[in-house]
Structure 1
Amino acid sequence: MKSFNWQVLLGATLLLLSILVYILHYLIFKDLHHILIFLVEDIAFVFVEVLLVTLIIHRVLQEREKKKRLEKLNMVIGAFFSEVGIGLLRLISGWDAQSENIEAALDTRQDTASEGYRKLCGYLRKHSYQIDQKKAELTKLKEFLGPKRDFLLRLLENPNLLEHGAFTDVLWAVFHLTEELEARETFDGLPASDSTHLCGDAGRVYGQLSRQWLNYMQHLEAAYPYLFSLSLRKNPFDRNASPIVQGPL
Structure 2
Amino acid sequence: MIDYDGEAGGYDTSRGGEARAAATAEAVERLLPAETSALVDVACGTGIVTRRLSRPGRTLLGVDRSQGMVALASGRLPCGVVRGDAMRLPIGSASVDAVVLIWLLHLLGDAAPALAEGARLLRTGGVLLTTVDKDEADFRTASDVASVTAPARRKHAARATDHFERVGALAASHGLDMVGDTHFAGIGQGRSPRQWCEQISAGRVSWSRKASPAQVANLRRELSSLPDQDVARPDPLYRLIALTCKVRSF
Tell me which interval the TM-score lies in, with the shorter structure as reference length.
under 0.3
> Which structure has greater helix proportion?
1
Give me the TM-score of the superposition, normalised by structure 1. Answer: 0.25
> Which structure has greater strand proportion?
2
Higher relative contact order (CA closer than 8 Å, sequence separation 6+): 1
